[in-house]
Amino acid sequence: MPQNLLDLDLEGLTAWFGELGEKPFRARQVFHWMHQSGVADFAQMTDIAKSLREKLQQHATIQAPAISYAHASADGTRKWLFDVGVANGIETVFIPEDDRGTLCVSSQVGCALECTFCSTGRQGFNRNLTVAEIIGQLWVAQHSLKHEPNRTTGEISERPVSNVVMMGMGEPLANFENVVTALGIMLDDHAYGLSRRRVTVSTSGLVPAMDRLAERCPVALAVSLHAPNDALRDQIVPINKKYPLRELMAACRRYLAHAPRDFITFEYVMLAGVNDRAEHARQLIELTRDVPCKFNLIPFNPFPESGYEKPRAESIRVFRQILQDAGYVVTTRKTRGGDIDAACGQLAGKVADKSGRVLKRMHKEAA
């Protein structure tokens, strides 16, 4: 079976070329063609000997996930559904802004963590994505959006994706090795050359994997917090039962010793009547007092049968003001791409559930 070269970082590609009897610089050439130029046809790699191009056509392929559909929102947000086989699809979102273009990348088909407010989690879990399926999302977005003018400035960028956030479908740190390899390609100057400060991994709190990430590939870190105490977080973010808040906060402090930024971003989805009261804001202040951080408040984006509602604007304002008065930097995430179900927490894709969770939930709801 041909080797998909998108599965390999530069070190792996160099080793693979060595097995073909080729010199290391050939690997760098192909790496450039793939990632910087977006070329998937070896015949177009004009500075490579014809004999090597023919050899590559026999033994290799450059294959990103196929696009099932692509949608554009009225606000410029783009969403792709990628076909990853056997009735499975993953979603990827590009959010353009005046000074940046952010790509929200998926790491798994579904998610096994069952956060109760997340549409992806309700779809069940099938499998981890390969490196090619992860980096392929960036490969498609970067090269399909090239030469499109910025909606505000009209300027054209050769590199429309300036920031990557691993906040799409799945828990990135549950697919550790493939995610870290993909991160390495994103950061590699021979590929996308992104700064560690512009690549963010979001986790629900897999503490041992956070420590491994700090050692292997310390990029910016966002923690999906969503609750200020263990009792509430146990209910809405079940992984908290395994790694409670005390352990999570300690892991955050350890990570900061290696991080490219001097703060952790805490993501906080606000659920009406659940975690959006003033007392919850005050509890957050106590919880994070020893963790340099900023908060990103995310008003809940409704999806069918979620059981939750978006909080009132006044609740969000009061909550935010309490945190700001305590000296925290606080942002409230704008809902982008809501008209194409591309907003935070709405990504669902298509998941052939192997976990059995969907069936169990259906039986429970019917009982």
* Under 8 Å between Cβ of 212 and 177: no
Structure-block tokens of residue 21: 């009897």
* 98 neighbors 153 (Cβ within 8 angstroms): yes
What span, in angstroms and rounded, lies between the C-alpha atoms of 67 and 60? 21
Helices 207-216 and 245-256 cross at an angle (nearest 10°) of 10
- Whether the CB-CB separation of 334 and 73 falls below 8 Å is answered with no
Which of 104, 111, 115, 344 does the annotation list as catalytic? 344
d(CA 89, CA 82): 5
How far apart are alpha carbons 159 and 153 in whole angstroms? 15
Angle between helices 207-216 and 176-187 (to 10 degrees): 30
CA distance 192 to 200: 15
Q: Establish whether 177 is a catalytic residue.
A: no
The answer to whether 133 is a known catalytic residue is no
List, in sequence order, every residue forming a beta bridge with 215; answer none if it has no partner.
none
Q: Which residues have a Cβ under 8 Å from the Cβ of 166 and sit 6 or more positions away?
A: 105, 107, 172, 179, 183, 199, 200, 201, 202
Structure tokens at 196: 């560690």
Backbone angles phi, psi at 296, to 5 degrees: -115, 105
Contact at 8 Å (CB) between 138 and 170? no
CA–CA dist 321, 75 (Å, integer): 28
Q: Left, alpha or beta for 263 (phi > 0: left; psi -120 to 50: alpha)?
A: beta
- Bridge partners of 78, per DSSP, are 72, 94
The one catalytic residue among 11, 54, 91, 365: 91
Task: Indicate the helix (H) or strand (E) that contains 82.
Answer: strand 78-83
Which residues are annotated as catalytic?
Answer: 91, 344
